[in-house]
């Protein structure tokens, strides 16, 4: 089941009336039939008609009726004037933010990372993990200033990109950033995984056994978790999904200090509003957690914890771009913002995917149009070993996978 067109119309738009630019507008849809258009400092009520695929409201006292032409264009009239909303994607990043980046872990944390065992050597089973892509440990603050510690499952394809190597940066990451934004957090968080190496979904039962019984992997995981808690700033722990729930439980058994921090068990972001039903249990769980966390977590000075919570659907407005200070300096600006892909036809929610058929050692990067060619990266034993274009020709890249 897909969400109604009225729901999918939510997002950021360039608004024009009779060809004149009115600035940026924001369409928010709380339900399939009720929403708002924010424009010029005003919020106008929108009435959605799911069958007709229209949004109706008033602008300057005049009624308008917008037809949802597609995900990127809403068109109609206000009075005798043509009114158009063109979707904005890959919105510009402020220069001050572009100047910031994550320089990597402090020495103490790096020692913990270095002590993490090789997953293939530790398990002896190549069918459980995509071990060739190596470890991806974190995203966010490792300096003791994080007020929320988030635990997810394992890194996906985008997280393993050679110029990123940060967790939760793809579709699930941009959903999670939206969750954090509703707590008013713009930087005071740290996100880690139950597994630092990508786990094959088909081997989940084996993976859960490793999670519980492999002492070498567990020791390294708990050492990282303990170090993040030791700073004393963490006000809440959020575990996203079953694998993270179990990882938290094993950590709590081993580290009594964990019991002093409130924990919230919610669905993994990949499971949130997957069907667009308008009655999603996972999304309801996220909204309930946000409501309680707002009473516990101190917002960042530039954050907003008083805005709208999640509605009946997870919409484009609920996605939030990953901030530049969470990435290494060389990471391309489009990484962490897949709004361009979500508006594309066909829609795709991540700039990186596994090839089909999957050879277990390759990742395919598809940048936005005009920002580079599609590249197929190849890895060996956790190290980037080369890249090819769509024609199968070798492409010269640097050690971070950037085309030379």
Report the residue count for the chain. 404
4: burial class by Cβ within 10 Å (0-12, 13-18, 19+)?
buried
pLDDT digits (tens, 9 = 90+) for 339-351: 999 999 889 999 9
> What average pLDDT score do residues 76-105 get?
97
Cα separation, 71 vs 87, in Å, equals 8
Task: Find residue 387's DSSP bridge partners.
Answer: 377
pLDDT digits (tens, 9 = 90+) for 224-241: 999 999 989 999 999 999
pLDDT at residue number 321: 98
Indicate if the pLDDT at residue 220 is higher than 90: yes
Cα separation, 274 vs 390, in Å, equals 31
pLDDT digits (tens, 9 = 90+) for 247-293: 999 999 999 999 999 999 999 999 999 889 999 999 999 999 999 99
Indicate if the pLDDT at residue 51 is higher than 70: yes
Tokens 């994080």 sit on residue? 146
Indicate if the pLDDT at residue 245 is higher than 80: yes
pLDDT at residue number 345: 87
Cα separation, 298 vs 61, in Å, equals 40
Structure tokens at 81: 């004037």
> What average pLDDT score do residues 25-35 get?
97
pLDDT at residue number 234: 98
Cα separation, 242 vs 209, in Å, equals 13
For a pLDDT cut of 70, what percent of the chain falls above it? Answer: 100
Q: Is 226 left (phi over 0), alpha (psi -120 to 50) or beta?
A: alpha
What is the three-class DSSP state of 388? strand
Q: pLDDT band for 213, please (50, 70, 90 cuts).
A: very high
Sign of the torsion formed by the C-alpha atoms of 329, 335, 337 and 340: positive
- Average pLDDT score over the chain: 97
pLDDT digits (tens, 9 = 90+) for 104-135: 999 999 999 999 999 999 999 999 999 999 99
pLDDT at residue number 231: 86
pLDDT digits (tens, 9 = 90+) for 294-331: 999 999 999 999 999 999 999 999 999 999 999 999 99
Largest CA distance in the chain: 71
Structure tokens at 173: 């990451």
pLDDT at residue number 1: 58
> What average pLDDT score do residues 366-394 get?
96
CB 325 within 8 A of CB 187: yes
What global pTM score does this model have? 0.97
Q: pLDDT band for 154, please (50, 70, 90 cuts).
A: very high
Q: pLDDT band for 2, please (50, 70, 90 cuts).
A: confident
């Amino acid at each position: 089941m897909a969400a109604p067109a009225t729901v999918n119309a939510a997002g950021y738009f360039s608004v024009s009336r009779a060809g004149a630019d009115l600035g940026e507008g924001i369409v928010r849809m709380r339900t399939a039939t009720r929403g708002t258009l924010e424009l010029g400092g005003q919020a106008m009520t929108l009435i959605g008609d799911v069958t007709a695929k229209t949004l109706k409201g008033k602008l300057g006292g005049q009624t308008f009726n917008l037809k949802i032409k597609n995900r990127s264009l809403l068109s109609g009239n206000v009075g005798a004037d043509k009114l158009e909303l063109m979707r904005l994607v890959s919105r510009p990043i402020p220069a001050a933010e572009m100047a910031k980046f994550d320089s990597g872990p402090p020495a103490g944390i790096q020692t913990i990372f270095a002590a993490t065992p090789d997953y293939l050597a530790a398990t002896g089973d190549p069918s459980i993990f995509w071990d060739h892509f190596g470890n991806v440990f974190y995203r966010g603050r490792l300096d003791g200033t994080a007020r929320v510690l988030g635990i997810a499952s394992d890194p996906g394809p985008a997280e393993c990109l050679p110029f990123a190597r940060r967790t939760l940066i793809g579709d699930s990451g941009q959903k999670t950033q939206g969750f954090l934004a509703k707590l008013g957090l713009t930087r005071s968080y740290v996100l880690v995984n139950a597994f630092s190496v990508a786990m094959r979904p088909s081997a989940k039962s084996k993976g859960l056994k490793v999670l519980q019984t492999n002492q070498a992997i567990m020791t390294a995981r708990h050492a990282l978790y303990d170090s993040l808690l030791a700073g004393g700033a963490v006000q809440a722990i959020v575990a996203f999904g079953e694998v993270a729930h179990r990882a938290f439980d094993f950590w709590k058994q081993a580290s009594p200090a964990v019991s002093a921090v409130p924990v919230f068990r919610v669905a993994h972001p990949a499971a949130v509003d997957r069907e667009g039903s308008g009655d999603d249990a996972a999304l309801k769980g996220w909204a309930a957690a946000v409501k309680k966390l707002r009473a516990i977590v101190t917002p960042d000075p530039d954050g907003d914890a008083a805005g709208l919570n999640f509605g009946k659907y997870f919409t484009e407005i609920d996605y939030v771009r990953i901030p530049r200070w969470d990435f290494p300096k060389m990471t391309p600006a489009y990484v962490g913002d897949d709004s361009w892909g979500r508006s594309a036809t066909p829609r795709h929610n991540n700039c990186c995917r596994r090839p089909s058929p999957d050879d277990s050692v390759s990742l395919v990067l598809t940048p936005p149009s005009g920002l580079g060619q599609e590249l197929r990266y190849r890895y060996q034993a956790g190290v980037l070993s080369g890249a090819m274009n769509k024609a199968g020709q070798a492409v010269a890249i640097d050690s971070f996978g950037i085309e030379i």
